[in-house]
Amino acid sequence: MNKPHLYTLILFVIFTSQLIAQTNNALSSSPYSLYGLGSTNDISTGTINGLGGFGYAVSSNKFINGYNPASFGSILSNSFLLDFGFKAQTNILKDGSDSSSNIIANFSNFALAFPLTKKSGFGVTLTPYTSVGYEVNNIVSNIEGSNDVFYTNIEGFGGISDLKLNYGYKLTDKIRLGLTTSVLFGQINQTETNILPTTFLTIEEESNYSGFRLGFGLQYDILKNTSFGATLNLPTSLSGDKTWILNDDVTTEYTDDISDFKLPLEIGAGFQTHFKKYFSLNFDYKKSFWNNTNQSDNLGNYIDQDFYGLGLQYAADKTRDGHFFKNLEYRAGFNYNNGNLEISNQRIDNYSLNLGIGIPLKRNRTNSMLNVGYSYGTKGQVNNGLIKENYHLLSINLSLEDIWFQKRKFQ
């Protein structure tokens, strides 16, 4: 193994351990991450963050497109792709009369991909699948059987990580097929401090979840400049156990299996078309069939969720001596989803506007690029006692390409 690859391996280990370690810290700062397994991660690799968040029809020949395993069939020979992601988010929360804000910054993904043969490619992505981070104070509850109340402060952190093994195969020049296996694992922690009239009761909950999920992908280049992509993620169950650590006068520990968390069947499809030489447009749709999971949280039910993504990119030819701004890629996107949770007959929907810039890192023949994305989004609403959450999200993806097996004399 030569030196750069050794570095890559070391970095993979460092970032993997970082990501897993980070699940013990708050990766989210949304009160909505109270529900289920937390807030679903909405950050992806490469350029996708500036293009409405999806890219089912986008190939992986310049960067890693983790959304469709079929794209791994399009990795160029001798190309070795890496992607490091980082995000920073600030949330502004409103519930009618009050508002508050917070900021959170963290590592968001690691991915690598390389071709196996001329017709197939393989890749690994490690991303947060969900993230949890909230603190809710002074919840007032009645002590049943008395006129007294007790107050509760709740703090949550953690999340589920998604380690995906992607395999893409180029069936023909136009059709690529993909298979993805997700290993989902993680811990969600909640610390609940109950303040009773004359005593305290602290309950720490550690929920561990793990499971596998299979997914399939297809990409079809319909026309020279237009591609179609589709994915199917099978429903699965994450099994879990939960440990309660109770502290009042004495510390008690209690572990029990908890009911599986079911992930729904997900179907996604999208188009990408290139036009006027430098422009590309993608449109994506995904549906998550939560109804069939028959799950409910303690306040709301899980319901079918629709996602829409729209992205536009301008990328001029890169020239060695070109003007800096001419070499940049410019992106804009829009994303909407109607939420999978219904609280008080209100859906917690979410929409965001994305802007992105791609900065080529070196003037050479690789596609290494620093992708900076900015999103402004809103989640929920102020009506019916719900919270409206506005957020600014900055994502930075370092998408690197190395050329393997190339002899120095060709340079």
CA angle 397, 399, 403 (to 5 degrees): 170
Q: Smaller CB distance to other proteins: residue 33 or 231?
A: 33
Specify the pairing of strand 79-94 against strand 99-115.
antiparallel
Q: Are the C-beta atoms of residues 20 and 158 closer than 8 Å to each other?
A: no
Q: Smaller CB distance to other proteins: residue 139 or 223?
A: 139
Closest separation in Å from C-beta 324 to other proteins? 17
Closest separation in Å from C-beta 249 to other proteins? 4
Q: Smaller CB distance to other proteins: residue 138 or 294?
A: 138
Q: Smaller CB distance to other proteins: residue 312 or 361?
A: 361
Q: Is 275 buried (19+), middle (13-18) or exposed (0-12) by CB count in 10 A?
A: exposed
DSSP string, 380-406: E-SGGG--EEEEEEEEEEEEEEEE-S-
Distance from chain centroid for Cα 37: 13
Q: Smaller CB distance to other proteins: residue 33 or 182?
A: 33
Residue 411: strand, helix, or coil: coil
Question: Within 65-113, where are the H helices?
Answer: none
Q: Smaller CB distance to other proteins: residue 294 or 298?
A: 298
Closest separation in Å from C-beta 332 to other proteins? 26
Closest separation in Å from C-beta 96 to other proteins? 8
Residue 53 parent element (H or E):
none
Distance separating alpha carbons of residues 1 and 6, to the nearest angstrom: 6
Q: Smaller CB distance to other proteins: residue 107 or 283?
A: 107
Distance separating alpha carbons of residues 107 and 127, to the nearest angstrom: 9
Residue 19 parent element (H or E):
helix 3-22
Residue 195 parent element (H or E):
strand 175-195
Residue 31: strand, helix, or coil: helix
Closest separation in Å from C-beta 118 to other proteins? 21
Strand order in the sheet with 341-343: 301-302, 341-343, 346-347
Q: Smaller CB distance to other proteins: residue 145 or 224?
A: 145
Closest separation in Å from C-beta 226 to other proteins? 33
Q: Smaller CB distance to other proteins: residue 100 or 117?
A: 100
CA angle 275, 278, 282 (to 5 degrees): 55
| Residue found under tokens 């900021």 | 103
Distance from chain centroid for Cα 185: 14
Q: How many other C-beta atoms are found inside a 10 Å radius of the C-beta of residue 30?
A: 25
